A and B are shown apart, each in its own frame.
Chain A
Amino acid sequence: MARHTVPIGTKTERAGARRGNTGSICAWELRNVVRLPALWGFLALCLLLNSWMIVGTGISAGWRDDLAYAARTAANAGTTVDERFVAALAAQPASDERDALLRYVQSGFGPGYEGYDAIAAGDWYAAVLDAQGHPHLALQMRLKAQWLQSRAEHLAATGASDDFAAGSLTTLLHSVAATVVQATMVEGMILGPIIMLYAVGGDRFHRLDPLVNASRTGRRTMNRKLAVGVCCSTAAYLVIAAAVPLVFALVFRIPGLWSSSVSSRMLGVSTDVGLQPFLTWADFSMGGYLCASLGLGLLFTLAFTLFAGALGMLLRNVLAAFGVVMAFGVAGLVAMMFIHDALAYQLLGIQPMYALANASQWFTDMGTHAMLPWQETVVTLISVGYFAVALIVARRAYSGKDLT
């Protein structure tokens, strides 16, 4: 019997076959991931938990009446806290809610953030950094204070400070939103790596590894697996994240809430220098801020997903890879919670957990936790960057690795 020594098909035909196969291989890999029932169960649990956190706050006895009153007030008196608003509010029938809301809108900062001094706050932070022996960081802090002051002037000029938002519930709403965003980040941090590890390492469970890697596509199959892992992790996070603004909008139904500025003086943040308005580096509405936060959460999930992919290829043990990813995350969070020296905090903060630890103050000044505007975004992007590099390096190593 004659033996074939020439590969079947022309070069063009073989290349075409590879291209055509790419789509079908990805489809098979995708099929493997989406047909895991436990994955959908986990996703459903995440959605339930996040919804419960939002709904539980909105309907809890302590806040339900205040929420309804804020909605009525916004409908009757408008969504800009000016003299006309205060008069209209005072004219509403006497009640505990009216009195509490009147006190709230008249306390804290005045119109245009009157009573707030960014430069003074910056000087206070700088003094702390000087005391720690970091004069360069102190200088940066003063510089940042100047940028913040110009932001405060801009926001005051646009009237952002006078938006009613959710009235006295604005701080609560922001707090709940921050908690839910943190929850989605943690869920993404867990689910993303699990999906990636299943995509990358699932063949080993069924002892298909030798077969797959000895095929024509061979180790190039790993590229498809990584792509499917990233896409599915992203999709899972998006499913979780998409539900958040939806549920918020259903529960917190106050006219003008989601289009009002997140830098409204209704939102006061407790900091080391005292009460501070929520001044963001760009103009955000409440809805826009929530979506931007969830967007940053996506980058956060991506970082951990890429890390898991790299480890999945290098360690060849799914449990160990997952353990290392989680250990990295926990160590990063512990560092952010217990390190007090500013320089050490900045250096150890070049990892994704920096963002999680500061989730309640994203896109704002963040006191001594940030030296630069948008630092949480920059750090997360850097994290995605170096994990992407790790993934590429791991992929290269995988090409030459013995597959025992």
Chain B
Amino acid sequence: MNRRVFLAEMRKIWRPLPLIAALAVFVVGALFAANQTHLVEGPYRNVDVVVESAEFGPVYTPETRRAVQTELEKAKAAFAADMAADPAAREQGVTDWDSYHDWQDRMIAAGGDSSAIDAYALSSYERVNSLEFLLRYAETDGEQIRATLNDGVCFVRGFPQGAPCGDVPGAAARRIDQLVAQAGRRSLLGYGVISTIQESGGTMMVTAVLCAMLLTMFTMTRDRQLRLPSLQWASRTGRSVRSWQAAAVGCSAALAALTVGTVWAAWLAVRLRPVLGTGINTALATDMPWFDWTVLQYLVAYAAVAVLASLALSLVAAWIVRARQNYIRMLLVAIPVGVAAGCLVKFRIGAHLGYLANPLNRLLMVPGVETIALAAILVLAVALWTVDARLLRRRELPVA
């Protein structure tokens, strides 16, 4: 009996018009997410961050260092060849990388034109630059890593950059110890990969939550508009139909979010295929990851949190909106609720998920604080619906 009522309520949610509206939101969200990729970088030349990240393998080891140094020498030789072929460079006596930078420093100090030699447009310049950057950050030792991460903790706690802030909270201190111990085993994942996942993931989460809410927020008001409650409450199922409606809301929200999250993760996974097995604990970023995830696991984490967020927030939203007297009242309540949920997901949950930079760490600096927050909202939602079901047993049918 209950399963059929549940399925009937699910059918009422997955109707053509709300589905079309959710699809429209999905398309807009996808457009925004697709424009939030940072996988091609460089001021003058397009550098593929994914290819660069995968070039020297998933982990930075002594062998990797040797390979990078070899490539660096090759790149500097290529730069020297480009300088030899450049008349302006020959005229200025610039023959290689070091002499180019010496010349540039002299020009800047004297107020001269340091763009006389157009080195920035050269691929060899870009290559040397990125390899030197890589070596500079990859070669930081454990204590330098600890200092950087401690600074990060202090910054999150609201202290100015570089200012000491006393003892590091327990969970953060333990994590810093773990990362310091992994100093010799970090990846070379470009920050563009992480920022792509985070920014487009945040947008994906907002899209998932809004799609879920569009599908689920209107059903009870529609029932009331159509004068169904008298039939529903007088049936054997009675007032407990509301609980089944809430269950249908939760399942539908989760399903919608799962669809959105899966599509997003699959799209990005294809693009990030060469680095799916690479760890997000990279030498090329200073923000502290709470977990030792690979890129693939990070994608899955974003999608899973999107499902949890949609489930929790849709249940709360549906409780707040419930069965309003008419659609106008429903919209006046549902829109602020939707905006609040979107802002919460965009700026607090989805921002730097799984990293210390996530704003929720200011309140509680523990791993998975975003999931804890969403779980708390879910518990609240369940409590609200439970109390609602209890109170409903003694509530009389309202005037239509």
A and B touch in the complex (CB under 8 A): yes
Known contacts A205-B325, A320-B17; A42/B336 CB under 8 A: yes
Q: Is B136 an interface residue (CB 8 A)?
A: no
Contacting pair A318 B327 (CB below 8 A): yes
**B residues near A322, Cβ cutoff 8 Å:** 327, 331
List the B side residues contacting A198 at CB < 8 Å.
328
- Of the residues A45, A205, A319, A334, contact of B31 by C-beta under 8 Å: A334
- If A327-B24, A334-B28 touch, whether A205 touches B326 (CB-CB below 8 Å) is yes
Residue contact B336 to A36, C-beta cutoff 8 Å: no
Minimum CB–CB distance for A308 against chain B, Å: 11
Q: How far, in angstroms, from A165 to B335 measured CA to CA in the complex?
A: 37
Among A38, A39, A330, A334, the most chain B Cβ lie within 10 Å of the Cβ of A38
Task: Assess whether A330 is in contact with B332, with CB atoms less than 8 Å apart.
Answer: no
- Chain A residues positioned under 8 Å from B332 (CB to CB): 36, 38-39, 41-42, 194
Rounded to whole Å, the gap between the CB of B224 and the closest CB of chain A is 10
* Docked complex Cα distance between A323 and B334 (Å): 13
Interface pair A197/B328, CB less than 8 Å apart: yes
From the candidates B21, B28, B35, B335, name the one contacting A323 in the complex (CB within 8 A).
Answer: B21
A190 within 8 A of partner (CB): yes
Would you call B329 an interface residue if the criterion is a C-beta within 8 Å of the partner chain's C-beta atoms?
A: yes
Is B61 engaged at the interface, CB distance under 8 Å to the other chain? no
Q: Hey, what's the 0/1 contact readout for A169-205 against B, CB within 8 Å counting as 1?
A: 0000000000000000000001000100110011001
Partner pick for B335 among A190, A318, A330, CB 8 A cutoff: A190
The reply to whether A194 and B328 form a contact with Cβ atoms under 8 Å apart is: yes
Which residue of chain B lies nearest to A201 when distances are taken between CB atoms in the complex? B328
Q: B344 to chain A: closest CB distance in Å?
A: 14
Selected contact of A319 from candidates B35, B327, B329, CB within 8 Å: B327
Q: How far in angstroms is the closest Cβ of chain A from B389?
A: 25
Contact B31 A338, beta carbon cutoff 8 Å: yes
Query: Inside 8 A of B225's CB, which chain A residues have their CB?
Result: 205
Is B333's CB within 8 Å of the partner chain A?
yes
Q: When chains A and B are docked, how far (Å) is the Cα of A205 from the Cα of B331?
A: 14
B336 touches A202 (CB 8 A): no
How far, in Å, is A39 (CB) from chain B's closest CB? 6
Indicate which residue in B17, B21, B35, B333 contacts A38 across the interface (CB closer than 8 Å).
B333
- Of the four ranges (under 10, 10 to 19, 20 to 34, 35 or more), the interface on chain B belongs to 10 to 19
Task: Chain A residues near B331: list those with CB within 8 A.
Answer: 194, 319, 322
Residues of A within 8 A of B17 (CB): 320, 323
How long is the Cα–Cα vector from A322 to B329 in the complex, in angstroms? Answer: 13
How far apart sit A42 and B335, CA to CA, in the bound complex (Å)? 9
Which residues of A have CB within 8 Å of B35?
Answer: 338
- Could you tell me the distance between the alpha carbons of A42 and B332 in the complex, rounded to whole angstroms? 6
What residue in chain B is nearest A199 (Cβ atoms)? B328
What's the minimum C-beta distance from B17 to chain A, rounded to whole angstroms?
Answer: 7
| Chain B residues, Cβ within 8 Å of A323 | 17, 21
Query: Closest B-chain residue to A206, C-beta based?
Result: B326
Q: Are B218 and A319 in contact (CB under 8 A)?
A: yes
Interface membership of chain B positions 229-246, coded 1 if the CB is closer than 8 angstroms to chain A and 0 otherwise? 000000000000000000
**Cα of A330 to Cα of B28 in the assembled complex, Å:** 8
**Chain B hits for A38, CB < 8 A:** 328-329, 332-333
Residue in chain A with minimal CB distance to B221? A319
Q: Is B28 touching A45 in the complex (CB atoms < 8 A)? A: no
Chain A nearest CB from B44 CB (Å) reads 17
- The distance in angstroms between the C-alpha atoms of A338 and B332, with both chains bound, is 30
B335: chain A residues at CB < 8 Å are 42, 190
Contact A202-B328, Cβ < 8 Å, known A38-B333, A190-B335, A320-B17: yes
Q: Which chain B residues lie closer than 8 Å to A42 at the CB level?
A: 332, 335-336
B28 near A36 with CB under 8 A, answer: no
- Give A319 to B332 CA distance when docked, in angstroms: 12
* Residue numbers in B under 8 Å from A205 (CB-CB): 225, 325-328
Bound form: Cα–Cα A205–B221 in Å: 12
Closest to A204 in B: B326
Select from chain B the residue with minimum beta-carbon distance to A190: B335
Q: Looking across the interface, which residue of chain B has its beta carbon closest to that of A333?
A: B28
CA distance A42 to B17 in the complex (A): 26
Q: How far does the Cβ of A181 sit from chain B's closest Cβ, in whole Å?
A: 18
Q: In chain A, residues 23-61, which have Cβ atoms closer than 8 Å to a Cβ of chain B?
A: 36, 38-39, 41-42, 45
Interface set, chain A 219-262, CB cutoff 8 A to B:
none
Most buried by B among A39, A198, A201, A320: A198
Residues of A within 8 A of B327 (CB): 205, 318-319, 322
A-B contact pairs, 10 of them (CB 8 A): A36-B328, A36-B332, A42-B335, A42-B336, A190-B335, A205-B326, A319-B218, A319-B331, A334-B28, A338-B31
Interface residues of B (CB under 8 A from A): 17, 21, 24, 28, 31, 35, 218, 225, 325-329, 331-333, 335-336
Chain A contact residues, CB within 8 Å of chain B: 36, 38-39, 41-42, 45, 190, 194, 197-198, 201-202, 205, 318-320, 322-323, 327, 330, 334, 338
**6 pairs of A and B residues whose beta carbons are closest in the complex:** A38-B332, A205-B326, A198-B328, A42-B332, A318-B327, A319-B327
Task: Given contacts A39-B332, A338-B35, list 20 more A-B pairs with CB under 8 A.
Answer: A36-B328, A36-B329, A38-B328, A38-B332, A38-B333, A42-B332, A42-B335, A42-B336, A45-B336, A194-B331, A198-B328, A205-B225, A205-B325, A205-B327, A205-B328, A318-B328, A319-B327, A323-B17, A327-B21, A330-B24
